[in-house]
Structure formats: structure tokens, C-alpha cells
Amino acid sequence: MIFKRKKIGVISLGCDKNRVDTEKMLAILGAENITSDISQAEIIIVNSCAFLESARKEALETVFDCNEYRRNGKLEKLVLTGCLPQKFIDEIYDELVEVDVFLGIADYELLPDAIELAYSGQRVNFVGKKDWVEKTERVVTTPLHYAYLKIADGCNNFCTYCLIPKIRGRYRSEKIETLVSEAESLGNISELILVAQDVTRYGVDLYGKPQIVPLIKELSKLENIQSIRLLYCYPDMITDELIEEIATNDKVVKYVDMPLQHADDTILKRMNRKGTASEYLDLIKKLRSKIPNIAIRSTFIAGFPGETDEHFANLLDFLKDARLTNAGFFAYSREEGTPSYNYDGQVDEDIKEERVKKLYAVQKHISRIYLQSFVGKTLEVLADGIDYDKQAFCGRAYLSAPEIDGVVYFNSNGEVCQGQRYLVKIEKADAYDLYGGVEDEFAE
């Protein structure tokens, strides 16, 4: 086949779930053809995100930038895959003439055939030809010591601001045995990170009830997996059973990413979010009671339609009461096709941005106090690599997920190996990161 004789460059945009899709795509294409130098690629594949207008803009700009390699590089064919064509193929197919091949979120196994057709002179639209990616083999693109495991796709929550159900469809879980096999095939992994739009809902569609705890138990049996981290646990689905599993399973990192999105009851209802601010605070209290020192992360949206100064003040007060380990804040993005697009009370962009700044300022103060509590203590740190600007090794303790949380910068008198765990004495802290030195040996 033609593509096997070509150098292929791949750009993955968006979330960690999209990254897993990209890794499966690389396995379909064959890793031996992949080049990290995009200027030398004869085929470039852009795996896109379309969750927000900013993500769609980034995808289009990436396509235009890549298309320049037809003039000053070696580009012959440009492929656009993922969420953008999945949702907007009717709008972009005629306009986006730079692209030779379009595929949706489940069409990756058709890539070889699509590329062959493109080299025969056709412009190819295979969006929606398949509804599921059968392949589980992957070419891991994260550092070799950690990897993501996408346990489900789609979403049934239908938050009024979100396009995910219209892009990714209804919630669909992978079978437990399939996920265990995929995790086993990844090789020795220091940290396996479970991801889905909502990991706590895992298995409801297949087994009639949540099966996240049985899945964790099966994954924990694998000798090649040292630890398991959970991302995107919806508060209404965090059961006592799950809390007990996190608390008692030594392989499960004591960390929960729990997207709350707001903490004013009126706004939560308009968002179609389940739960209230008081219920969220009760859950946080329970988590800390059952799992001492647990790290709790969340995300929040500022400037949702109808958000008054009073609603926003309630969110600020919640942050002060919740004392989260870390949090991300985003200005509401008005997305056509979502219910909230037509809501009254749209908030001015300047006000939204100002509210985001205020939220970050409050959380920065909370995070600084939290991190200062580790000074003088010893933490187990997973070594991720070297920060040459800071002239220090960098890694993560249990309280930090890759790329979204702070890190631990540390020095050592001995050799430091990526993927190994070290006992680091914390010497100082700021609002984001910790700093220290290796005490003696590898952490057990």
C-alpha cells in the first residue's frame, strides 16, 4: 500500500482521550513510518478537537499551517480526523479544500483505504462510516512510564453548555476484558490514568450498573501496572463503594478529579448539573474523612448565562470552603447547538474574563497554603524527567496528574531514572510547585 512507503506526521489536538485515539491510529498506520519532523512528512494527519470554538479555531489554524508544507516541505496528502469533521463535516467539506481526507471519531481503521483513494486522485469523506474502533493496539506517545486508558466514549449527562454528546454520542463503555488486555499490552507502566468523559459511570450501558470498582480491581491485578489514577469522576456517581476502593487499594492514587463546573444551585440547575453546593461540600468532607490527605481537583465555568454577581459570589465562597487541592477555571463559551446558546442573560466577555481572574486568585491563595503544608515532609515522587531551565529533575507526587497540575522539582546526588519513584524531602513551596531533594533510595 502507498502509505507504507511514505513518511507520516501526526498532530494530536485536544484532550487525553483524543490522544488515546491518536495512539490507536498510529498502530493502524505502523510506527515505522512515523516521523517527529513534521516538515519531512509526506502525509500529515491532524486529529482534531471541536469541544469549544477555540479548539475548532486551533484545528483549522493547524490545517492551514500544515498545508504550507506543500510549498516548503514534502507534504503530498493532508488528513483531518476526529471531532471537527465528525460534527461539522457538512460545513467544512466544501470550504476546507486543503484537506484530502476526512474521517470521524470512529473511522481510524479506514485510514489505509482512505489514503489509497486519495493517492488515486479522489478527495475522500469517510466520516461516520464506522461507529466503533475495534483496534486496541497502540503506539504510546506519552513518556513511557505513564499512559492513559480510555475506558468509555461519549456522554449521557447532557449539560446545557456541552457539545460532547452531539459529537461523541451516547456513553459507551469498553468491556472489562478488553481494557485489561489493552492495559497489559502497554508494558511496564508506573502510572495508568483512567479517562472517559465520566469514569464513574463506567459499565452502566454494558452491565446495567456502574462497574468502575470491578474494573479497578481487575486492572490492579496486572503486574505491569504499578499505580492507577482516576480522572473525571462526576460527584453524583462517587459511591461509597468507590470511595472504599480508593481508600483501601494500594495501587489507586489518592487523587480524584471531580468536575463540578459551578457551586451556585441556580446556575447548576441551568447547567443541568446534578447536585447542589451543600451536597458537593458534604461529598468533599466525606472523601477527606474516608481517605486522609486525598487530593481533590476540579474545574469551574465562570460567566454562564444568567450568572449574577450574587451567583458568582457563591462560587467564590464555595472555593474558600472547599479548599480544593487544585482547580481550573474557564470562561463560558457560547456554543451553537447547545441549549445554553439561546439562554437569556448572556454575560459580557470582559466580565467573564475578570471573574476567571478572581477565581484563580482565590485558588492560588488556597493552593499556596496547601502546598506549604508539605514543607519539611517527605513525599514519594515519580520522576518524569529534567527541567533544563530550572536545572533540576522534575516529577509528580500523588497530588498531581500530568500536564494539568504542578510538579515537584528536586535534586539528587545520585542517578535519577525516569519512571522510578523517589523519596523527596520537600524544602520549599510556591502556589503551584514543590521543591526538594532526594533523601536516599527508591521509594517502595
CATH number at residue 35: 3.40.50.12160
pLDDT tens string 146-178: 999 999 999 999 999 999 999 999 999 999 999
pLDDT tens string 374-391: 999 999 999 999 999 999
Does residue 290 carry a pLDDT above 70?
yes
- Residues of the domain holding 429: 378-442
Does residue 369 carry a pLDDT above 60?
yes
Kindly report the pTM of this predicted structure. Answer: 0.94
Q: What is the pLDDT of residue 441?
A: 59
Average of per-residue pLDDT across 12-37: 90
Supply the DSSP symbol for 102: E
pLDDT tens string 93-135: 999 999 999 999 999 999 999 999 999 999 999 999 988 887 7
Residues 102 and 161 in one domain: no
Does residue 440 carry a pLDDT above 80?
no
Residues 338 and 262 in one domain: yes
What is the rounded distance in angstroms from the CA atom of residue 217 to the CA atom of residue 201? 16
Could you tell me which of 245, 318, 242, 317 has the C-alpha nearest to residue 280?
318
Residues 197 and 105 in one domain: no
pLDDT tens string 309-367: 999 999 999 999 999 999 999 999 999 999 999 999 999 999 999 999 999 999 999 99
Residues 162 and 38 in one domain: no
Does residue 443 carry a pLDDT above 60?
no
Q: Which residue, 317, 340, 372, sits at the end of a domain?
A: 372
Give me the number of domains the chain comprises: 3
Residue 31 banded pLDDT, cuts 50, 70, 90 = confident
User: Does residue 126 or residue 4 have the better pLDDT?
Assistant: 126
Residues 310 and 349 in one domain: yes
pLDDT tens string 68-94: 999 988 999 999 999 999 999 999 999
Mean pLDDT of the chain: 95
Q: What is the chain's percent helix, strand, coil content, to nearest 5? A: 40, 20, 40
What is the rounded distance in angstroms from the CA atom of residue 21 to the CA atom of residue 49? 12
